[in-house]
């Protein structure tokens, strides 16, 4: 059985107590940090200064998800901050191959994210430039939305392409992942699961993580 990775999203955490909120998920594989600029998505969350502090205090690695325009310009600074994994959106990058190389050169893992309506096929030739592919399973912008089943065929096609390539590329899903939906995403081939409300909405986040881990392993 392959053990899956659970990356809780701090978008659903208490923003006034982020250090304490991180300590509640110390059994997670990484903490998913949603950066939103109110342009790429219609919501504003947090930016580089907060991520820099989180990087200094977090007991687990940071998985930054940049939902921001002009990713080519802004993403490298997150790698410079020491963030373990930096994911930018394909729709927000002019030169994704160049950007992925810059992130790796700065010591971060490079992730490429796709909105639900963006096809995966145009990006398959650049799998070798990536450490992670993120298939959004809701329209990005808000936590607590319903999982979009229409993304399952894309997850399957991405899994098949990654397996064919023989490359070590993680396949992350983000949005609407709960104890009820995680099976479907795992069965389709995802191996890294972001969960915001399902973890921070639970009375015991650490227990919710372990339950999701069991349900998402295959
Ligand atoms: C949505 C964010 C997600 C969000 C997930 O745009 O990228 O990471 O926090 O939240 P849930 O798990 O509640 O859908
Ligand atoms: Zn996210």
CATH classification at residue 130: 3.20.20.70
Question: Is residue 132 within 8 Å of residue 112, measured between CB atoms?
Answer: yes
Does any ligand 1 atom lie closer than 6 A to the CB of residue 24?
A: no
What is the SS3 assignment for 65-110? EEECCCHHHHHHHHHHCCCCEEEEEHHHCCCHHHHHHHHHHCCCEE
Count up the domains in the chain and report the number: 1
Within its chain, how far is the Cα of 84 from the centroid? Answer: 12
Residue 1 clears pLDDT 90, i.e. is over it: no
Q: What is the per-residue pLDDT across 103-123, written as a single tens digit (0 to 9) for each?
A: 999 999 999 999 999 999 999
Q: What is the per-residue pLDDT across 9-37, written as a single tens digit (0 to 9) for each?
A: 999 999 999 999 999 999 999 999 999 99
Structure tokens at 35: 């950066």
Q: Whose CA is nearest to atom 6 of ligand 1?
A: 140
**pLDDT-above-90 percentage for the chain:** 97
Question: Where in the sequence is the domain holding 203, given as residue range(s)?
Answer: 5-215
**Would you place residue 4 in the very low, low, confident or very high pLDDT band (cuts 50, 70, 90)?**
confident
pTM above 0.85, yes or no: yes
How would you classify residue 2: left for phi > 0, otherwise alpha for psi between -120 and 50, otherwise beta?
A: beta
* Residue 180 annotated to the active site: no
**What does the DSSP 8-state code read for residue 200?**
H
Q: Is 144 annotated as a binding residue?
A: yes
Q: Is 34 annotated as a binding residue?
A: yes
pLDDT of residue 218: 75
pLDDT of residue 204: 98
Q: Is 107 annotated as a binding residue?
A: no
* Stretch 146-163: mean pLDDT: 98
Structure tokens at 29: 């594989």
Name the active-site residue from 34, 63, 131, 191: 34
How far apart (Å, rounded) are the C-alpha atoms in residues 198 and 58? 21
Q: What is the per-residue pLDDT across 167-187, written as a single tens digit (0 to 9) for each?
A: 999 999 999 999 999 999 999
* Residue 174 annotated to the active site: yes
* Residue 46 Cα to ligand 1 middle (Å): 14
Best of 13, 88, 145, 199 for a ligand 1 pocket test (most atoms within 8 Å of beta carbon): 145
- Looking up tokens 């319903």 gives 146
Does any ligand 1 atom lie closer than 6 A to the CB of residue 122?
A: no
* Stretch 57-76: mean pLDDT: 98
Does any ligand 1 atom lie closer than 6 A to the CB of residue 8?
A: no
Q: Is 142 annotated as a binding residue?
A: yes
């Amino acid at each position: 059985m392959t053990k899956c990775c659970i990356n809780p999203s701090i978008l659903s955490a208490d923003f006034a107590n982020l250090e304490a909120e991180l300590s509640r998920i110390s059994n997670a594989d990484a903490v998913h940090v949603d950066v939103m600029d109110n342009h790429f998505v219609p919501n504003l969350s947090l930016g580089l200064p907060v991520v820099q502090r989180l990087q200094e205090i977090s007991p687990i690695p940071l998985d930054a998800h940049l939902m921001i325009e002009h990713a080519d310009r802004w993403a490298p600074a997150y790698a410079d901050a020491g963030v373990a994994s930096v994911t930018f959106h394909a729709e927000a990058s002019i030169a994704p191959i160049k950007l992925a190389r810059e992130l790796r050169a700065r010591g971060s893992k490079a992730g490429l994210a796709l909105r639900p309506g963006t096809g995966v096929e145009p990006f398959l030739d650049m799998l070798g430039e990536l450490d992670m592919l993120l298939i959004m399973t809701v329209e990005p912008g808000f936590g607590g939305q319903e999982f979009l089943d229409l993304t399952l065929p894309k997850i399957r096609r991405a899994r098949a392409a990654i397996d064919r390539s023989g490359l070590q590329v993680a396949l992350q899903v983000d949005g609407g992942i709960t104890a009820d939906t995680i099976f479907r995403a795992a069965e389709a081939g995802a191996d890294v699961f972001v969960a915001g409300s399902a973890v921070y909405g639970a009375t015991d986040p650490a227990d919710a993580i372990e339950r999701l881990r069991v349900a998402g392993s295959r």
